[in-house]
Amino acid sequence: MAMPPSRRAGTSRAGTSRAGTKGVPRADREQQILAAATEEFGLRGYDATSLAAVAARVGVTKTLLHQYFGPKQDLYLACLNAVGDRLLAAIRTAMADGGATGPHTPLRVLHSLFTALEGQREAWFVLYDTSLPPDSEPARRAAHYRAAIDTLAETGSLDVLRRSGPAHSPDADHLGADPLDRDLLAYAWRGLATTLVRWWIRHPDESVDAMTRRCARLFTTARTALAPDPDA
C-alpha cells in the first residue's frame, strides 16, 4: 500500500492543465475525487460514507480531500451541484426537444437520463439522500434539485395527459381533477424513473439503448396489465 508518490503525471493530461509539476494535476484529481465521492454518496448515503473510504478509492489521503474541497458537507455539495445540474440539463433538453420528433416524451426523458447517468449510475441517488443533516445547506440544496425535477415531472405528466386524455371516458372522476391526484401522478412518474435507475444499477451490462428499449417494452406491457377492473 501507500506506494511512493509515482513520478508519471497520470493518464489524463487534460488540455487546460498548466503542465505538471509533479503528481496528478489538481484539476484531474478533483475530478477523480468527485467521481469517487459521488459513487460512495450515491451508494451508501451521506452519513454512512466515510471520507477515508473515498480517499482510499482514489488512492490518496483523507487530508487531500479536505485541502481540495473543504469539510465533508462541501464535498457533498460539490457532488450534488455537479450531478444536479447535469441531470436537470439532460431532462430539460429532452423535454424541450421538439414535442413531436422521435418517441414520445417519457421515453425521450428516460433515454436522456440514462445517457447522463452512464458511467456513474448511482449519481441519481445523491439527490435523494435521506441521511443528510436536517436544516443543513446540503439538505436544502438537495431539496431544491428535487423540487426542480418534480416541476418538470409535473408539466410532463400534464403534457402526456393532455395529449392522450380527451379521447377517453367522459366521467371527470379521474384525469387530475384533484390537484393531489396530479401531484401523485408526477411523483409516481419520478419514482418510476428512480426505480428504473436502481434496476439498471443492478444490471451493469445493460447499455443505455438496450435499457431504453426495455423500458419501452415495459410501458407497453404495463398498459395491458393495467386493464380496468374485470369484475365489480
- 59 makes contact, choosing from DNA, a second copy, none, with CB < 5 to 8 Å by partner type, with DNA
**How many of the chain's residues bind DNA (CB under 7 A)?**
29
Contact by Cβ (8 Å): 93, 11: no
Among 43, 56, 148, 208, binds a second copy (CB under 8 A): 43
Residue 63 as a binder of DNA (CB under 7 A): the answer is yes
DSSP run (H or E) holding 213: helix 208-225
Report the alpha-carbon distance of residue 151 to residue 48 in Å, rounded: 30
> In the range 69-108, which residues lie near DNA by CB under 7 A?
70-73
Site string for a second copy, 158-197 (x = CB under 8 A): --xx-xxx--x----xxxx-x-xx-xxx-xx-xxx-xxx-
Shortest distance in whole angstroms from residue 126 CB to DNA: 15
Residue 104 as a binder of a second copy (CB under 8 A): the answer is yes
Report the residue number, 1 or 225, with the smaller CB distance to a second copy. Answer: 225
- 14 makes contact, choosing from DNA, a second copy, none, with CB < 5 to 8 Å by partner type, with none
Contact by Cβ (8 Å): 64, 29: yes
* Closest listed residue to residue 57, CA positions, set 73, 78, 41: 41
Report the alpha-carbon distance of residue 50 to residue 2 in Å, rounded: 19
Instruction: Give the interface segment with DNA, choosing from 2-10, 79-87, 112-120, 146-154 (CB under 7 A).
Output: 2-10
**How many of the chain's residues bind a second copy (CB under 8 A)?**
58
Among 49, 105, 112, 212, binds DNA (CB under 7 A): 49
Report the alpha-carbon distance of residue 25 to residue 75 in Å, rounded: 18
Report the alpha-carbon distance of residue 13 to residue 28 in Å, rounded: 8
Among 2, 19, 172, 227, binds a second copy (CB under 8 A): 227
| Residue at 8: amino acid letter | R
Report the alpha-carbon distance of residue 12 to residue 30 in Å, rounded: 12
Q: What angle do CA 222, 186, 116 make, to 5 degrees?
A: 85
Buried b (16+ CB within 10 A) or exposed e, 48-63: ebebeebbeebebeee
Interface contacts to DNA, rule CB under 7 A:
2, 4-5, 7, 19-26, 29, 49-52, 59-64, 66-67, 70-73
Interface contacts to a second copy, rule CB under 8 A:
43-48, 100, 102-104, 125, 130-131, 157, 160-161, 163-165, 168, 173-176, 178, 180-181, 183-185, 187-188, 190-192, 194-196, 198-199, 203, 214, 217-232
